[in-house]
């Protein structure tokens, strides 16, 4: 934005002309970048690459991964509580977690281990969850309280996310 001295020494039209000459290109470039991001994020390849880059970013990556993990765990808990089979619930959960990086890690370990392996082993093999999450899930699978312990794990993951935001 031009200095106010232009407004005082010259006319209002000169000030407006200088202001619009600076702001309009900024707005146009911002709109084009936003439109490019929105259109290209619908393509799975770009989305996967973008999520991988964000996940590898030191501060932002941890928070984004924990947010996606929380969402994944909550969906998985609700599906377990609704009575869905574990392998189907796992597949739906990683498809709807909202993060292509997390989804590909879980899908890779699920496909490598197969559908006869307990969910806790699949999550442990994915390597994207804190160690406590697969341990809690294994306890839930043994005790028959999978949904309850998945919700607890989601709560703990959400608390970790909030702590990482405040650092």
Cα–Cα distance, 45 to 50 (Å, whole number): 9
3-state secondary structure of 44: helix
Per-residue pLDDT tens, the chain, 167 aa: give them: 566 776 677 877 777 777 778 888 899 999 998 888 777 767 767 778 888 888 888 888 888 899 999 999 999 999 999 999 988 999 999 988 888 889 999 999 998 888 788 999 999 999 889 889 999 999 999 999 999 999 999 999 999 989 888 87
Query: Which pLDDT does position 30 carry in this prediction?
Result: 93
- Nearest of 118, 74, 117, 116 to residue 92 by alpha carbon: 74
Closest alpha carbon to 76 in 149, 147, 17: 147
Helix or strand or coil: residue 115?
coil
Q: What are phi and psi of 117, to 5 degrees?
A: -85, 145
Helical pair 86-95 and 58-81, crossing angle rounded to 10 deg: 140
What backbone phi and psi angles, to 5 degrees, belong to 131?
-55, -30
* pTM of this prediction exceeds 0.75: no
């Amino acid at each position: 934005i031009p200095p106010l001295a232009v407004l005082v020494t010259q006319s209002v039209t000169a000030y407006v002309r200088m202001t619009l000459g600076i702001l309009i290109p900024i707005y146009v470039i911002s709109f084009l970048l936003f439109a490019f991001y929105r259109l290209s994020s619908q393509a799975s390849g770009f989305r996967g690459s973008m999520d991988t880059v964000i996940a590898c970013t030191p501060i932002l990556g941890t928070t984004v991964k924990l947010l996606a993990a929380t969402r994944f765990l909550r969906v998985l808990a609700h599906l377990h509580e609704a009575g869905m089979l574990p392998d189907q619930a796992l597949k739906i959960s990683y498809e709807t977690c909202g993060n292509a990086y997390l989804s590909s890690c879980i899908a890779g370990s699920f496909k490598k281990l197969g559908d006869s392996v307990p969910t806790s082993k699949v999550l442990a093999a994915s390597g994207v969850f804190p160690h406590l999450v697969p341990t809690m899930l294994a306890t839930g699978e043994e005790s028959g309280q999978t949904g309850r312990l998945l919700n607890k794990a989601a709560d703990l993951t959400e608390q970790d996310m909030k702590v990482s935001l405040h650092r």
